[in-house]
Amino acid sequence: MTARGPRYQPMLAGTAPAPFSDENWFFEIKWDGVRAIATVGTTVSLRSRNDTELAGQFPELAELITLAPGTVLDGEIVVMSGGKPDMQALLPRLQAGAPGAGATPVTYIVFDILRRGEEDLTALPLSARRKILESAVREGPHVVISAPVEGRGEDYYHAAVAQGLEGVMAKRKDSRYEPGVRSGAWLKIRALKSCDCVIAGYTPGRGGRSPAFGALLLGLYDDGKLVPVGRVGTGFSDQLLRDLMDTFAPLETKVPQLPGISGFVVWLEPVLVCEVGYMEVTRERKLRIPRFVRLRSDKKPAECTTAQFTPARMQTAGPGSFQAQEPSLRKYHEKRNFSVTNEPEGVPAMSAMRFVIQEHHARHVHYDLRLERDGVLKSWAVPKGVPETPGEKHLAVAVEDHPLEYGSFEGEIPKGEYGAGTVTIWDSGTYDTKHWDDEKIEVMLHGRRLNEAYVLVKFRRPGKNDWLLFRTA
């Protein structure tokens, strides 16, 4: 058979605020390369995150036909240099067309198996998939199986950083494979904060940089519009400067891509994505002390949004930073240690009326309904989930207001913290208010799953936070 069959999108990871140890987790190196799903039959298909076929660029990985017959694998294509992945050395191999003689060889580091023969394995826990992976795949000159460690995440992280590596990945042993989903069951733990930005233009270089550019102008999408988040002028070698100028030449345009930018700028069509490391994000959502890391040919510009900025990463002191907290969030902040959990702290914001329903695997699995109002998310814990049948009534317990940014939060709340467990988004969207007072709330939800009218009615017992939630006909 050829390399055909079901197409799988890579499972994506959330971000952990700090390294941690837990016997329920695997920890492995975060490889700096190109993510690729390998479908192996009589030929090999290698599909990138943006669904580009890469097999022609990496013919040496055809050895998967004999090393991993009849499988679908997830892994990272890397070039190793001095014992570390070298992204700059990999970039020439990503150009269209077969590589020429003397091309730098690559290694495919396999860390998951999604299918073996006709059996889909994605519903199995990761621990079971690991055992199948080890029996279904043999290592070869260009194929290596990633070897995770169990439990000792902090030691492993510090050892990886000491070797100059980017960081580690943490994966729950019981996690199923969720194609295309950014899950809190997989977490990135990086030594440096980073985000993926759209290159919107550049300023001309001066002095020794006069043949090239001075700084790249960076943008992220916010509600569908590209907004400026700063500029980056460090992290470039002389060769990279020349290569980037060649790349930019056919993309020049007279159309300004970002608002509020003064001075002379060479604007570019917003089609290139780069990863930028940074220290902090200011209150104005600008990158502080940014440094260019690499181009991201595997990332679409539309994926580069301000949702990458979590408030836990933002400054809490210094000029222009956010210090005061919304009074209505006081209870929320009192229950959380933001140096440990990566839940959002919250900053003042204005936006459309949004709702979110989050599935929360804490001591007991429950769902949280959150409705935006008065600059916060009014929140209820719904143990049995939002009812989907008209007239069915479920208990909803009012809890503390949450910041608006919680509407996009997914991830793992660490052990020992309030609400410890995994949070994922079950549904989200906007809503219309039909009625809202202290005793009764009527709303119309417009979500991906739910597009119905719901009512919350408060129990009449004084001092209680119990409500009834039901869907109307």
Residues taking part in catalysis: 30
Determine the Cα–Cα distance for residues 196 and 218; give it in Å rounded to an integer: 9
Determine the Cα–Cα distance for residues 384 and 396; give it in Å rounded to an integer: 9
Determine the Cα–Cα distance for residues 424 and 429; give it in Å rounded to an integer: 15
Q: Which residue matches tokens 């730098």?
A: 104
**Nearest 5°: phi and psi at 92?**
-60, -30
With a CB cutoff of 8 Å and minimum separation 6, the contacts of 291 are 232, 234, 235, 276, 277, 278
